[in-house]
Amino acid sequence: MTITRAMLEALDKGDPLAPFRDEFDLPPDVLYLDGNSLGVLPKAAKARMVRAVEQEWGRGLIRSWNEAGWIDMPGRVGAAIAGLIGAHADEVIVADSTSVNIFKLAAAALRLRPGRRIILSEPGNFPTDLYMLQGLTMFLGGAVEVRTVAPADLPTALTDEVALLLLTQVHYKTGRMHDMADLTARAHAVGALTLWDLSHSAGALEVNLNGAGADFAVGCGYKYLNGGPGAPAFLFVARRHQADAVQPLSGWMGHAAPFAFDDTYRPADGMRRHLCGTPPILGLSALEEGVAIMARADRSHIREKSQRLGDLFITLVEQMCGDVFGLISPREAGQRGSHVSLSHLDGYAIMQALIARGVIGDFRAPDALRFGFTPLYLRYVDLWEAVAHLANIMQSGEYRQDRFQTKAAVT
Ligand SMILES: *Cc1c(COP(=O)(O)O)cnc(C)c1O
């Protein structure tokens, strides 16, 4: 099938999600294919930030902890995120970063499985996931080790020595999606717990944590949830573990009575014990707006459009660029998250040349050009424009220019 621009325009006309585009403050002359890394600015977040800064902070000052509901924000925003990931409202809270939440929940899981020596993950998982486990096990003095095995070997590596299986549902580089329900069931069959990283899932897929029987989960606020740069992250603990799961960063905000100022730590009931220090109110304010938009969109429409965008992108690249690129991501949409990665030895320079033309994706070493598809603000016709630029850059050899060769600090 040859794709035409007119076909894409027709898809946009029939797109039930099309009205959402106007809720975002998109820069003119930019085709943004990196919402899987940093989501765009919701107009409502901008207005909310102004209010939070000028009114709540500027005028309300410390009174705003009570009067503007600041103190309840981690649970309130968490409850809204719960609706997006198949969790109950009282199973999710917003706190810290994804990295820190991995540490907290991995430690909590180990304590629930005393005597078990292994945390299982996969090689090439997002670095921070592995790094945080390495830091945690270092502090445990060798009693627990991190073992990584290729996805195909996970079923046999799941033994009764495994305390915790930590996986990212959608791989940050390849976009490959794990079967959460199947792997969770396999982990449970040997008595292990699961911790799912939803950084590339929340807001992009129809995640169903409780449907899969998941134990713990974490995820990012600044990717598909459009919470802004460095937005706080979320964490999930299934109800059945909440009474027994305690985490090691026992800060005062997770205390049963923070304003009793006791000398002795006593964890709060429910999810509040997973807080550590004072919540980042400005970050939470922006995130609440990003999540609110996502909550109004039909999840099945999001998944359907995301899959179609990915399929069309892959076909268009083949149609316009021939066999110049390898396909890193699964071709089958049902096995992919919401981004597609292409491989090319000059991937970095090609991405820089694209960005210079206003087509923004990103690069992941050593050779992956990554393109994210965000159904709320991307149009089908944007794919045509983006791939036409890519084809032009390849045919002209424009990416070979010196100015595209130097690596910046953030790729
Ligand atoms: C983006 C991402 C993170 C980011 O963690 P931070 O603590 O926010 O820097 C972690 N894990 C995965 C899988 C990610 O994709």
CATH of residue 130's domain is 3.40.640.10
Q: Could you say which of 247, 273, 296 is where a domain stops? A: 296
CATH code assigned at 329: 3.90.1150.10
Polymer length in residues for the chain: 411
If asked whether residues 281 and 182 sit together in one domain, one would say yes
Q: Is 149 exposed, middle or buried (0-12, 13-18, 19+ CB in 10 A)?
A: middle
Which mutation among 96, 199, 218, 370 tests ligand 1's pocket best, with the greatest number of atoms within 8 A of CB? 199
Cis peptide leading into residue 366 (ω within 30°) = yes
- Alpha carbon separation from 189 to 34, 161, 192, 193, 382 (Å, rounded): 38, 12, 7, 10, 46
State in Å: Cα 64 to ligand 1 middle.
30
Give domain status of residue 47, yes or no: no
Does ligand 1 have an atom closer than 6 angstroms to the CB of 274?
no
- Boundaries of domain holding 373: 5-41+298-404
If asked whether residues 155 and 278 sit together in one domain, one would say yes
If asked whether residues 234 and 310 sit together in one domain, one would say no
Longest dimension (CA), the chain: 70
Give domain status of residue 252, yes or no: yes
Query: What are the strands of the beta sheet with 368-372, ordered from one edge?
Result: 326-327, 339-343, 368-372, 362-364
If asked whether residues 96 and 11 sit together in one domain, one would say no
Q: Could you say which of 280, 296, 312 is where a domain stops? A: 296
Q: What is the pLDDT of residue 409?
A: 87
Give domain status of residue 281, yes or no: yes
Q: What is the pLDDT of residue 367?
A: 96
State in Å: Cα 75 to ligand 1 middle.
21
If asked whether residues 150 and 106 sit together in one domain, one would say yes
Domain count, the chain: 2
Which mutation among 36, 37, 96, 99 tests ligand 1's pocket best, with the greatest number of atoms within 8 A of CB? 99
If asked whether residues 87 and 201 sit together in one domain, one would say yes
Give domain status of residue 144, yes or no: yes
Q: Could you say which of 276, 296, 316 is where a domain stops? A: 296
Q: What is the pLDDT of residue 269?
A: 97
Give domain status of residue 411, yes or no: no
Does ligand 1 have an atom closer than 6 angstroms to the CB of 37?
no
If asked whether residues 285 and 389 sit together in one domain, one would say no
- Ligand 1: residue whose CA is nearest its atom 13: 126
If asked whether residues 248 and 102 sit together in one domain, one would say yes
State in Å: Cα 39 to ligand 1 middle.
14
pLDDT in tens, the chain (411 residues): 899 999 999 999 999 999 999 999 999 999 999 999 999 999 999 999 999 999 999 999 999 999 999 999 999 999 999 999 999 999 999 999 999 999 999 999 999 999 999 999 999 999 999 999 999 999 999 899 999 999 999 999 999 999 999 999 999 999 999 999 999 999 999 999 999 999 999 999 999 999 999 999 999 999 999 999 999 999 999 999 999 999 999 999 999 999 999 999 999 999 999 999 999 999 999 999 999 999 999 999 999 999 999 999 999 999 999 999 999 999 999 999 999 999 999 999 999 999 999 999 999 999 999 999 999 999 999 999 999 999 999 999 999 999 999 888 888
| CB-CB contact of 228 with 111 (8 Å) | no
Does ligand 1 have an atom closer than 6 angstroms to the CB of 125?
no
Question: Which active-site residues does the annotation give?
Answer: 126, 197, 222-223, 370
Strand partners, 94: 234
Q: What is the pLDDT of residue 142?
A: 87
If asked whether residues 257 and 344 sit together in one domain, one would say no
Binding site members for pyridoxal 5'-phosphate: 98-99, 126-129, 168, 197, 200, 222, 252, 278
If asked whether residues 88 and 35 sit together in one domain, one would say no
- Ligand 1: residue whose CA is nearest its atom 14: 199
Give domain status of residue 52, yes or no: no
If asked whether residues 149 and 221 sit together in one domain, one would say yes
If asked whether residues 267 and 183 sit together in one domain, one would say yes
Residue 37, SS3 per DSSP: coil
Q: What is the pLDDT of residue 327?
A: 98
Which mutation among 105, 126, 169 tests ligand 1's pocket best, with the greatest number of atoms within 8 A of CB? 126
Q: What is the pLDDT of residue 328?
A: 98
